[in-house]
Amino acid sequence: MIDKLIRETRSFRSFERVKISKKELEEVIETARYSSSARNAQCIRYVLISDDEICSQVFPHTKWAGFINWNPTKEESPTGYILMLNEKKVGVSETLFNFDMGIASQNIMLKLRDMKYGGCIIGAYNKPVIKDLLEISDDYDLGVLIAIGKPKETVEIIDTTSDTRYFRSNGIHYVPKLRRADLIIKNI
Ligand SMILES: Cc1cc2nc3c(=O)[nH]c(=O)nc-3n(C[C@H](O)[C@H](O)[C@H](O)COP(=O)(O)O)c2cc1C
């Protein structure tokens, strides 16, 4: 079960015009709040976005699939976002925030997939613009933005021995993953 869910939890970048509700986004955070965190300090805070107008204002400030000459159109753009923040007063270093955010963001991606949505973790977005747009106070540092929607594309995993660059061919997005044998340095 867990293997299947992890395999199916891919980065999706093309979405149907199906809305995710505020309640569903809250359900995602209800799962994410069980994530492990350094010192159990729990510095991560969330901005949940499902409003159509705000989604369309956020979209132009996001960058997609840097390896390929392809971008989602407005018609296939995300219908929701989760912005992850570090509440500064909790006092967690940037390194540990990034660690905690990695754990929580993957749990969010898994939960979204289990709910038949799909996401894409977006690190490449215009932080100053989004900070202003969403009126985020200086009490928070911005982390990744998770784009959300009902996936409209096929993403396939293929084996690779060296070249890890993803590519698109005939409308299918291929993601090369290193083989198990290439990952294990020792098994003693
Ligand atoms: C920290 C992080 C930042 C990422 N930033 C972006 C991004 O800005 N734009 C994008 O299209 N994909 C982004 N991705 C998605 C990766 O490109 C994706 O995980 C990778 O191609 C492997 O595909 P998979 O998630 O389906 O295994 C990011 C992923 C991570 C973990």
- Residue extents of the structural domains in the chain: 2-152, 153-188
For residue 73, the model assigns a pLDDT of: 97
The pLDDT of residue 17: 97
Question: Quick one: pLDDT band at residue 11, thresholds 50, 70, 90?
Answer: very high
Sorting pLDDT into bands at 50, 70 and 90, what band is 152? very high
Q: CATH class for domain 2-152?
A: alpha beta
- Mean residue pLDDT of the chain comes to 97
- Ligand 1 pocket: which residues have CB below 6 Å? 10-11, 13, 63-65, 120-124, 144, 155, 166, 175
Q: Give percent of the chain above pLDDT 90.
A: 98
Q: How far is the CA of 156 from the centre of ligand 1 (A)?
A: 14
Instruction: Say what the pLDDT of residue 123 is.
Output: 98
**Token pair 């940037």 is at which residue?**
94
How many residues belong to the chain? Answer: 188
Summarize pLDDT for 100-148 with one digit per residue, the tens: 999 999 999 999 999 999 999 999 999 999 999 999 999 999 999 999 9
Nearest CA to ligand 1 atom 18: 11
Class of domain 153-188: mainly beta
What's the first-to-final CA gap in the chain, in angstroms?
28
Is 122:66 a contact under the CB 8 Å cutoff? no
Ramachandran assignment for 65, one of left (phi > 0), alpha (psi -120 to 50 degrees), beta (any other): left
For residue 183, the model assigns a pLDDT of 97
C-alpha 72 – ligand 1 centre gap (Å): 14
pLDDT value, residue 159: 97
Across 26-30, 39-43, 68-72, 75-79, least confident range:
68-72
Are 119 and 12 contacting, i.e. CB atoms less than 8 angstroms apart? yes
